[in-house]
């Protein structure tokens, strides 16, 4: 009987440990090697939610930009006759698992405000070759190249801004450490660091002890250290005006992420602002607020900083 009990205990421990290892590896893979959304599916979703609006009527030009280590990023320039000659440009970054068309919901606001727009597929997303996703670290280096490419490609730029959603938001904030030639940032539902996002998720089920193991799995399996994706650290010396937008109902990336980022980004006197959209879940601020209200957030911010 004693040997049977011992065997059952060993089997139970083995099963639990194996389950944890599988869970940890799956979590690391979901972040670093995500199953991404197709362009067609993103288009369909935006249209079903009424977020596509006038995008089909705009003029578009596809091109490529070389990012970190020559990695090719598929980009698209979008404008119409009304915005040409204003000298106002914005680069819009989508979220994790999405693609360039995930930025369309914000693009319509900028077209109305007189901006030409650049949207592009983030590393390993959209039409880009499959690679690792670092949720802001390598992506911020890619963005630095996109900014430089934009400046060289369009000689009439008077204003150049960034607008990001979720991972795109944190990428836009992380690029600050390179001191790029930009004029403003709009950061929608960004996270302070990958570590804090993972910690929040496991804290909900009282399994915080797994967080270092997820990091370890990322380093061993994919040679990616998720702790290097840290927007909070990047904005410590921020000098750019930043509008933070976050849904009060966001349970995935909680509003305190934007609150912490705003506090850090304003330490050196840069203008910052935080708008909380009542009841909005993750990446749903534009949908919940509506086109006019959301566009108003951006317009009011730009007016305050003299743009």
- CATH number, residue 150: 3.40.50.1820
When pLDDT is cut at 50, 70 and 90, the band that residue 219 belongs to is confident
Percent of the chain whose pLDDT exceeds 70: 87
Mean pLDDT of 109-115: 98
pLDDT (0 to 100) of residue 209: 64
Tokens of 277: 């959209």
User: Above 60 in pLDDT, residue 19?
Assistant: no
User: Above 70 in pLDDT, residue 294?
Assistant: yes
* Comparison of pLDDT for 278 and 8, the residue scoring more: 278
Mean pLDDT of 203-212: 62
Q: Is 232 exposed, middle or buried (0-12, 13-18, 19+ CB in 10 A)?
A: buried
- Domain that residue 264 falls in: 33-193+229-304
pLDDT (0 to 100) of residue 215: 74
Residue with tokens 């030639």: 181
Instruction: Classify residue 26: in a domain, yes or no.
Output: no
Instruction: Classify residue 89: in a domain, yes or no.
Output: yes
Q: State the alpha helices, DSSP H only, in the chain.
A: 2-32, 39-48, 104-112, 137-153, 167-174, 194-203, 211-222, 231-234, 256-265, 285-289, 291-304
Three-class SS state of 23: helix
pLDDT (0 to 100) of residue 223: 83
Instruction: Classify residue 19: in a domain, yes or no.
Output: no
User: Above 80 in pLDDT, residue 214?
Assistant: no
Instruction: Classify residue 102: in a domain, yes or no.
Output: yes
* Comparison of pLDDT for 16 and 79, the residue scoring more: 79
Which has the closest alpha carbon to 188: 267, 78, 298?
A: 298
Q: Which residues contact 266 (CB under 8 A, 6 or more apart)?
A: 238, 272
Cα–Cα–Cα angle for 138, 140, 143, nearest 5°? 115
pLDDT (0 to 100) of residue 216: 76
Q: Which residues contact 199 (CB under 8 A, 6 or more apart)?
A: 208, 211
Which has the closest alpha carbon to 171: 95, 64, 247?
A: 95
Domain count, the chain: 1
Residue with tokens 């205990």: 9
d(CA 134, CA 307): 32
User: Above 80 in pLDDT, residue 28?
Assistant: no
> pLDDT tens across 146-183, in order?
999 999 999 999 999 999 999 999 999 999 999 999 99
d(CA 128, CA 98): 12
Tell me the sheet residues that pair with 65: 73
Helix axes of 291-304 and 104-112: crossing angle, nearest 10 degrees: 60
Instruction: Classify residue 18: in a domain, yes or no.
Output: no
d(CA 274, CA 262): 7
Instruction: Classify residue 130: in a domain, yes or no.
Output: yes
User: Above 60 in pLDDT, residue 283?
Assistant: yes
d(CA 191, CA 250): 11
pLDDT (0 to 100) of residue 4: 63
pLDDT (0 to 100) of residue 101: 98
d(CA 200, CA 259): 15
> pLDDT tens across 224-261, in order?
888 888 999 999 999 999 999 999 999 999 999 999 99
pLDDT (0 to 100) of residue 81: 96
Strands in 121-212 per DSSP E:
159-165, 184-188
Phi-psi region of 191 (alpha: psi -120 to 50; beta: other; left: phi over 0): beta
pLDDT (0 to 100) of residue 205: 53
Instruction: Classify residue 16: in a domain, yes or no.
Output: no
Number of C-beta neighbours around residue 256 at 10 A: 13
When pLDDT is cut at 50, 70 and 90, the band that residue 11 belongs to is very low
Mean pLDDT of 115-126: 98
pLDDT (0 to 100) of residue 221: 77
Helix axes of 211-222 and 2-32: crossing angle, nearest 10 degrees: 70
Instruction: Classify residue 210: in a domain, yes or no.
Output: no
């Amino acid at each position: 009987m004693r040997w049977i009990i011992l065997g059952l205990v060993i089997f139970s421990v083995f099963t639990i440990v194996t389950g944890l290892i599988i869970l940890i590896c799956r979590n690391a893979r979901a972040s670093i090697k995500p199953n991404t959304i197709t362009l067609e599916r993103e288009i369909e979703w935006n249209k079903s939610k009424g977020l596509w609006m006038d995008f089909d009527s705009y003029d578009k030009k596809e091109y490529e930009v070389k990012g970190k280590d020559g990695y090719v990023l598929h980009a698209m320039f979008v404008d119409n006759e009304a915005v040409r000659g204003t000298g106002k440009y914005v680069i819009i970054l989508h979220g994790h698992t999405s693609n360039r068309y995930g930025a369309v919901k914000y693009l319509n606001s900028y077209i109305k405000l007189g901006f030409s727009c650049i949207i592009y597929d983030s590393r390993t997303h959209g039409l880009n070759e499959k690679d690792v996703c670092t949720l802001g670290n390598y992506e911020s280096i890619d963005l630095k190249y996109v900014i430089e490419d934009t400046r060289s490609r369009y000689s009439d730029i008077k204003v150049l801004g960034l607008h990001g959603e979720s991972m795109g938001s944190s990428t836009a904030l992380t690029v600050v450490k390179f001191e790029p030639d930009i004029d403003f940032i709009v950061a929608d539902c960004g996270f302070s660091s990958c570590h804090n996002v993972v910690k929040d998720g496991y804290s909900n089920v009282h399994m915080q002890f797994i967080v270092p193991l997820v990091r370890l799995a990322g380093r061993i399996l994919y040679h990616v250290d998720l702790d290097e994706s840290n927007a909070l650290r990047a904005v410590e010396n921020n000098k750019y005006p930043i509008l933070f937008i976050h849904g009060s109902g966001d349970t995935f990336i909680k509003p305190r992420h934007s609150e912490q980022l705003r506090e850090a980004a304003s330490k050196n006197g840069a203008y910052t602002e935080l708008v909380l959209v009542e009841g909005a879940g993750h990446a749903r601020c534009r949908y919940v607020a509506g086109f006019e209200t959301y566009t108003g957030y951006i317009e009011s911010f730009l007016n305050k900083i003299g743009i």
